[in-house]
Chain A
Amino acid sequence: MNHLDELESQSVYILREAYKHFKELCMLWSIGKDSTVMLWLTRKAFLGHVPFPLVHIDTSYKVPSMIEYRDRLAREWKLKMVVGQNRDALAAGMGPEKGRLTCCSALKTEGLKHTLDGTWPRKEMNREGVYEDVLNGEPFTGVIVGARADEEGSRAKERYFSPRDKNNDWDVSDQPPEMWNQFKTDFAPNTHVRIHPLLDWTETNIWEYIEREQIPIIDLYFDKGSGKRYRSIGCETCTGMIDSKARSPKEIIVELGKTTVPERAGRAQDQEDTYAMEKLRRDGYM
């Protein structure tokens, strides 16, 4: 087994453990490369099937092609798609001009929290591929997230199975031990567990795997002639493109070998203040 095989095997093992232990299980799909790789790994683990719902939090400011891509893949791969949104905040005019962290916190963190706990309506794709509102959904007790340890400081301290208390809080200083692939799969009522199958992957590994497996990743990551591309995708309003002529995973891998610029440099909310990420994260942001 080479290193990519080892990473794939570990992720598949974690996904299968999650599916075994959590009845109310979902996977967060941001449409980005990491969670799309995770979705692909899920199909590997379950022989082509995706046996749990995928949750996407739609801030309404996403690049429009992201939504098209999401729904096309959902229909093609027969995904149980669940979309959440902070409708009240949007109706009241929430947007990045109110302050980036305020906006992230309302549209992502709050939207996510209430979509996961079922207190807000969820849009679910039915068998005909059409979205319908579903009220009073069951709270999810296992949430699969595509965080990688190398992304930024606060993510490096995560476990594969990381408990969150009823306020979504993450107690970094008092985490359960994790060894020999024995994970935290027992949890108290009103708490949930975040599951991180990609913890050991680096940005380069992700692209190497996309290349190897020919995963149909969204094309925003590639230069289409303007000499610019996204390295990290999110809301159109707050995500900048980078100067790059990379048109394929192969070219991106070469480029990554030379860069010293961090992955999330184009994400404006990270630059807002020093502890932005940790703050968002403590509040439940992925």
Chain B
Amino acid sequence: MPSDTNTSERQTMNVVIVGHVDHGKSTLVGRLLADTNTLGDGKLEKVQETCRRSGKQFEYAFLLDALEEEQGQGITIDAARVFFRTDLRDYIIIDAPGHIEFLKNMVTGAARAEAAVLLIDAKEGVQENSRRHGYLLSMLGIKQIVVAVNKIDLVDYNEGAFRAITEEYQEFLSGIGVEPLRFIPVSAREGDNIADRGDKLDWYEGPTILEALDGLKKAATNDQLPLRMPVQDIYKFNDVGDDRRIIAGRIESGTLAPGDEVLFLPSGKRSHVASLEVFSAPTLQSVGPGECASITLTEQVFVSRGELLCHPSSKPHVSTRLKVNLFWLGKAPMTPGKRYKLKLATASVEVTIDSIERVLDASELGSSSDKGMVERHDVAELTLRTRKPVAFDVSAELESTGRFVIVDGYDIAGGGIVREALSDNLETRRLERQLRDMEWVRGDVTPAMRAALTGHEAAMIMFSGTSESGKHDVARALEAALVQTGNHAYLLDGKNVVLGIDADIAFDDIDELVRRFGEVANILLDAGLLVISTTNVIGLADHRQIATQIAPAPMFLVHVGSSDDELANHADVCVDAQTPPNDAVAAILATFSESPG
């Protein structure tokens, strides 16, 4: 990128060009390059001459190909990114593919943009990808959208044709809550309203494309918004003599300064910022949006990647149920019952579809269907259920902690925004746990010291299945097998808790029975054990309450019975009711040793 001033002192704006295939994206980009003199001397004439000699009609889109070939001649360009500049600032133009097969590339390109120019062919009118791209732009959080009604020369510069398309597309955008900045009639081929006004559109009084680009605003910095720093990692480099314990993360919104009281969610841990660490840089008074921070705390608390650091006065939501809008790019459809990974900021948790509200064909968006799955290129309204609680915001309030991607297997297969935090009826348990953990008295032995001794982390292995399934036999055999191989395992039978600890309460006070059971399990887990349990005695089919109480210790679910049972869906491993206990144990251990917990 040839430049005569320091590029770091000039403003840069990322703009994506989108629209249906053949509506003129490359022609527009070629024209912008030509009319802003980005091409260098004689390049335009050279390409025109080549076309004339080969009997081909010259098109501005050829400039892109020509420049790509001439990359070696010093101009920075490619099909994905084109650089040009105006007096005001530098532009990076992302030319996104219009073909539906390349939707994931369009999304990748557009997700980096701050604004978009969406093209609609004046003659063909609003098409499938005009709508789909419009919808995706709104989900990607791009608020500045300029709509260019291109090829206006093909409809004889007719104002009526322009108005008709404007009206139709405006109505569509309103339906999805998008307000475009403006509609501009252009002919990229003839150069009308790109850099110059031309003389054929005198009924139009608004800006040209270039003026509209220079009119785009840089997003306001998020420093006045609530503080959010997703915890990215914890560093201790004491093997090289550095005993600082550093919490690393990037500030997404708000500002953070030494002395601030901070709260980590979902764990609920609190501390104060002791310092902001740097390498080869002046001391920082505070850090703000977009900056990578390295903080130390005054009171050491155990936190891990995925938690959101905030100020206690403005907290994010914490739940396992999220109402979302989602777009799907995966080859295999997204289906209920299947397990995916949800990545939101730095959190990564297992997720399943709780319910599908609507599946929209993104190209039409008027029609919804109840096909029971989300197929490639669909847009859907869903409720998701995460296995562990996540801290997040509603996208409309705080964008960067209100959006997520879904990983299917090894690849990102979808993305979406959170519309609403739904109650999961676990709020009370979480609050109780936080209060309990805050005051919890610890000895000098850490969980890591216990793990070094036992050779394993603490974990709960919870059995489900009907009382005739034989799961007690399997649970007993599992305890024996684990202990015989040197593990510290303990079978916590629900009945034993009922007999003693629950002796003072009624048998039908299920809520309290569950709570007490969970607290006993939590103490055993704190002692570093593998706790094996069945809970039929306390009549519990849903283990989420107990999982909430024992967090962050993981709960591994084993279902004994048919894989068609509803509970089998949530289980980490399912063994048939008829399986001999020893075979069942082998199957359980094979999966358990692979599980991340």
Contact = CB atoms under 8 A, between A and B. Distances in A.
Interface of A: 1-6, 9, 12-13, 16-17, 19-20, 43-49, 51, 78, 149-150, 152-153, 156-157, 159, 175-180, 182, 184, 186-188, 202, 204-205, 208, 213, 253, 256-262, 265, 270
B335 interface: no
Contacts of B279: 43-44, 46-48
A193 B336 CA distance: 30
Contact of B4 (A6, A43, A202, A257): A257
Interface of B: 1-10, 12, 40, 68, 71-76, 78-81, 83, 104-105, 107-108, 111, 140, 232-233, 235, 237, 240, 242, 244, 246, 248, 250, 277-281, 290-292, 294, 305, 329, 341, 343, 400, 403-405, 407, 409-412, 415
Contacts, number: 154
B240 A78 contact: yes
A258 B4 contact: yes
Nearest to B12: A3
Contacts of B409: 186
Nearest to B344: A182
Nearest to A214: B280
Contacts of B248: 16, 45
24 contacts: A1-B291, A3-B10, A3-B12, A13-B232, A13-B292, A16-B232, A46-B279, A47-B277, A49-B242, A78-B240, A152-B72, A156-B78, A156-B79, A176-B411, A178-B111, A178-B412, A180-B111, A182-B343, A186-B409, A186-B410, A204-B1, A204-B7, A205-B8, A259-B2
Nearest first, the 3 A-B pairs at minimum CB distance are A156-B78, A179-B111, A177-B104
B294 A47 contact: yes
A218 to B, nearest CB: 19
Contacts of A16: 232-233, 248, 292
Contact of A184 (B68, B78, B411): B411
A3 B233 contact: no
A180 B290 contact: no
Contacts of A5: 290-291
A261 B8 contact: no
Given A176-B104, A179-B107, A262 B71 contact: yes
Contact of B7 (A46, A208, A260): A208
Contacts of A270: 72
A257 B78 contact: no
B410 A44 contact: no
Contact of B74 (A43, A48, A261): A261
A149 B280 contact: no
Contacts of A157: 78-80
Contacts of B79: 156-157
B307 to A, nearest CB: 14
A94 B396 CA distance: 61
A90 B411 CA distance: 40
B294 A1 contact: no
Contacts of B278: 47
A121 to B, nearest CB: 26
Contacts of B5: 257
Nearest to A263: B74
A180 B7 contact: no
A262 B1 contact: no
B80 A156 contact: yes
A178 B413 CA distance: 10
